[in-house]
Amino acid sequence: MSWFSVLLLLGMAALIPTAYAAKIGAPYVPTYRRALIAAFDFIQLGPGDALVDLGAGDGKVVRLAAQRGASAIGFELSPIMWVIAVLWSLRYPHARVYLRNFYRQSLQQTLMPLSRRSNQRTILFTFLMPQNMERVRRYLASQSVQAARYFLSYMFPLPNTEPVKIIRVPRCGPVYIYDLRPLTKPLAAIKPV
């Protein structure tokens, strides 16, 4: 097998999951930094907070949260975007991006390693297509999140849910900010395993 064939196979192996990620979540579209900064300023994201990015893309949200002193974890399905996110996040010791489907992750288990460093608030972030927002709402309803505080959605609102605030920055999409507590299960509702 020639090197060209090997490279072609590797490229296809990376593109197929990337296409799948675009289908079930969103194609890669960058989140505007100015909108994130305005939203993070509003919620006063900082040291002691834990942020989980549901669909991390290039890892920008994870990096910006880590720059503010928060512990940050991202989940990404596209191997190409995951590599970019991991490389960009290497300089932040409290930032991690995993190549995983967040729908198959327990937020409580995801946040457990962060609890040693983060004990103030938990913030979730997503930027998915509108047709996926109902599924995100159902996912949140199935999760218990310690110190749940905010859910941020860039561009698209959660259906039938009133945001606490909508951040609007010129030439950027809106950031919908929700109180996370009523969107998730109370910790007492979890059955011991």
Q: What is the CATH number of the domain that holds 52?
A: 3.40.50.150
pLDDT band at 189 (very low <50, low <70, confident <90, very high): very low
Q: Please check whether residue 71 lies inside any domain of the structure.
A: yes
Q: Please check whether residue 23 lies inside any domain of the structure.
A: no
Q: Which domain holds residue 79?
A: 31-185
Residues 92-131: tens digit of each pLDDT: 999 999 999 999 999 888 887 766 655 678 999 999 989 9
- Average pLDDT taken over every residue of the chain: 85
Q: Please check whether residue 21 lies inside any domain of the structure.
A: no
Residues 18-77: tens digit of each pLDDT: 555 555 555 566 789 999 999 999 999 999 999 999 999 999 999 999 999 999 999 999
Among 91, 147, 86, 89, residue whose Cα is nearest residue 119? 147
Q: Please check whether residue 84 lies inside any domain of the structure.
A: yes
Report the pLDDT value the prediction gives residue 74, as an integer from 0 to 100: 97
Q: Are 62 and 89 in contact (CB under 8 A)?
A: yes
Domain count within the chain: 1
